[in-house]
Amino acid sequence: MNSTDLRPDDILARSLNLTALVAKASAAILRFAGARPRHKADGSPVTDADEAAEAVILDGISQLLPGIPVIAEESIARRAPPALDGAFVLVDPLDGTKEFIAGRDEYTVNLALISGRRPIAGFVAAPGRALLWRGIVGHGAERLAIEGETVGAPQRIQVRHWPMSGAVALVSRSHRDPATEALLERLPPTRPESCGSSLKFCRIAEGAADIYPRLGPTSEWDIAAGHAVVVAAGGIVTAPDGGPLTYGHAERKFLVPAFIAWGDALKARLT
């Protein structure tokens, strides 16, 4: 497959296999419960679970999407990134390693497919919660139960309108910042809830929360899959000024300066 050929319809045809692949990576992580962390050059933790899940995904992508470049968190640190002049895949094999090490269930496996610098599909598994979310832009979003490598029947999900009261703002458990707090103070009253990893995107996509602002830098592989799931479910993810988020920026080490995920796209445009 040529890297310029990836379209939502292509992913739809492969969605069952990609879902099974992410479930397989999720099961690999669970085999390493209690793994002792090491530290990478940047000081962030890594475990055998991160590396096992990434190996599963890289092997699977090479078979399901041959010829499509892959940017994966653990391997990108060891080699120069491939040329990204077409479609590519972004992978975070274990988003929320700190949560995993702490024994919490707020960690995920993230796999996103990017075309035209935008996410067109995302697959997010939460091994500790036995759940998987997937979304293909233009084709909707779903939540599925997983048990080991077995995937249950899909349940359609969608975002909700901004509620008259009781709006929920999701904030990072590990990366609270003054700019995010200031934004929330400018909105109608919201109830902040802490949550780790890309689970925040999934809760917005299934209509359980309303906004997830992150006004500090994060890596593309942390958010691309969740971005796709939110958009597929009817929401929107933008830069803080309302502009589009684009991906594949090797020149800034695949960092996203800031973003806001909204369930209600109209609310985003009016704010």
Query: Cα–Cα distance between 1 and 7 in angstroms, integer?
Result: 12
Cβ atoms of 120 and 6 within 8 Å: the answer is yes
Rounded CA separation 68/88 (Å): 5
- Identify the band that residue 188 occupies on the pLDDT scale cut at 50, 70 and 90: confident
CATH class (in words) of the domain with range 8-157: alpha beta
Chain center to CA of 202: 8
Q: How far is CA 34 from CA 38, 146, 176, 197, 246, in A?
A: 13, 21, 26, 18, 36
Per-residue pLDDT tens over the stretch 153-168: 999 999 999 999 899 9
What's the confidence (pLDDT) of residue 100? Answer: 92
User: For residue 211, what are the contacts with CB-CB under 8 A and spacing of at least 6?
Assistant: 167, 168, 169, 170, 187, 190, 204, 260, 261, 262, 263
**What does the pLDDT look like over 46-84, one tens digit per residue?**
889 999 999 999 999 999 999 899 999 998 877 778 778
Between CA 250 and CA 81 the distance in angstroms is 7
Q: Which CATH class is domain 167-270?
A: alpha beta
Residue 184, both tokens:
């929330």
Contact present, 113 and 121 (Cβ < 8 Å)? yes
Domain parsing of the chain, residue ranges: 8-157, 167-270
Of residues 188 and 28, more confidently modeled: 28
Q: What does the alpha-carbon distance between residue 156 and residue 206 come to, in Å, rounded to a whole number?
A: 9
Of the candidates 95, 124, 107, the one whose C-alpha atom is nearest the C-alpha of residue 22 is: 124
* Mean pLDDT in residue range 249-268: 93
- Phi first, then psi: give them for residue 51, nearest 5 degrees: -70, -35
Burial class of residue 178, CB neighbours in 10 A (0-12, 13-18, 19+): exposed
Residues composing the chain = 271
* Average pLDDT score over the chain: 91
Place of tokens 């958009």: 231
Taking CA atoms, 269 is separated from 23, 33, 224, in Å, by 35, 43, 21
Over the stretch 82-107, which tens digit does the pLDDT of each residue have? 778 889 999 999 999 989 998 999 99
To the nearest 10°, report the CA torsion of 219, 225, 231, 234.
-130
Q: Residue 271 in contact with residue 219, Cβ under 8 Å?
A: no
Query: Stretch 26-39: mean pLDDT, rounded?
Result: 88
Instruction: State the greatest distance between any 2 C-alpha atoms of the chain, in Å, as a whole number.
Output: 50
This prediction's pTM = 0.94
pLDDT at 38: 87
